[in-house]
């Protein structure tokens, strides 16, 4: 899709309640607002992790854009993909323990999807930033120690790579380094430029 001409007063909105995405957006030095999207995040029958992440990212952007049609809205979603099975946010210690036990010694693909929507201009763009994460063969004691220290219960896959969670890993493979944290900034900048926003 060709770039859309910029509108001088068009606001930028991050359609997410994630504090991690808010912190990442702050790196770009652009003024933006945060609006919570009202979207059911339950997977559909047979939906792959990548398709789920893409659908939810677009749904979040569209939901906020309907309330703010003049704004450029960013939606994003991340689903951990273990052998084709989606892993969401654990929510508590027991589920996080089970997730990390299932991932130890495996390569998990974190499917981080992005959507940028502006209803007034008609712009709608999407992208996907898969990140391959190789987990070490963790012991039960290592998993318990990590979870007690960091408590990453609001993170898909139960590990924060930007924190102590990096110690659980053997490798990270990605062409968009912030994708694993929740928002692929290289792709975000690209789509924002296409939507008509000047990004330094």
Token pair of 96 as six digits: 């996080």
Residue 33 has pLDDT above 80, yes or no: yes
**Where does the pLDDT of residue 48 fall: very low under 50, low under 70, confident under 90, or very high at 90 and above?**
very high
Residues 15-29, buried b or exposed e (16+ Cβ, 10 A)?
bbebebbeebbeebe
Q: Which stretch of DSSP H or E encloses residue 97?
A: helix 93-103
Mean pLDDT value across residues 20-24: 95
**Where does the pLDDT of residue 9 fall: very low under 50, low under 70, confident under 90, or very high at 90 and above?**
low
Would you state the pLDDT for residue 156?
85
Per residue in 177-198, pLDDT (tens digit) is 999 999 999 999 999 999 999 9
- Torsion 91-87-46-191 (CA) sign: positive
- Measured between alpha carbons, how far is 49 from 55 in angstroms, rounded to an integer? 10
**Where does the pLDDT of residue 55 fall: very low under 50, low under 70, confident under 90, or very high at 90 and above?**
very high
Per residue in 133-185, pLDDT (tens digit) is 999 999 999 999 999 999 999 988 899 999 999 999 999 999 999 999 999 99
Residue 4 has pLDDT above 80, yes or no: no
Residue of higher predicted confidence among 4 and 181: 181
> Quick check: 125 and 58 in contact, CB under 8 A?
no
Mean pLDDT value across residues 65-88: 95
> CA angle, corner 28, sides to 180 and 54, nearest 5?
40
Active site (annotated) includes residue 77: yes
Catalytic residue among 77, 81, 127, 176: 77
Would you state the pLDDT for residue 185?
98
Would you state the pLDDT for residue 13?
98
Structural domains of the chain, ranges and CATH numbers in brackets = 12-194 (3.90.950.10)
């Amino acid at each position: 899709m060709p770039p859309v001409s910029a509108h001088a007063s068009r606001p930028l909105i991050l359609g997410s309640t994630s504090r991690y995405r808010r912190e990442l957006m702050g790196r770009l030095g652009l003024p933006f607002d945060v609006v919570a999207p009202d979207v059911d995040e339950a997977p559909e029958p047979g939906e792959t992790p990548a398709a789920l992440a893409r659908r939810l990212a677009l749904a979040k952007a569209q939901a906020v854009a309907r309330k703010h049609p003049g704004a450029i809205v960013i939606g994003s979603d991340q689903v951990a993909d273990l052998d084709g099975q989606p892993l969401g946010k654990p929510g508590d210690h027991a589920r996080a323990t089970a997730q990390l036990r299932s991932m130890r010694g495996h390569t998990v693909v974190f499917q981080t999807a992005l959507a940028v929507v502006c209803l007034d201009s008609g712009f709608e763009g999407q992208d996907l930033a898969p990140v391959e994460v190789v987990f070490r063969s963790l012991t039960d004691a290592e998993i318990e120690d990590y979870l007690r220290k960091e408590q990453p219960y609001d993170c898909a896959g139960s590990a924060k790579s930007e924190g102590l969670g990096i110690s659980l890993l053997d490798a990270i493979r990605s062409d968009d380094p912030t994708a694993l944290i929740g928002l692929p900034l290289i792709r975000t900048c690209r789509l924002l430029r296409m939507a008509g926003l000047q990004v330094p």
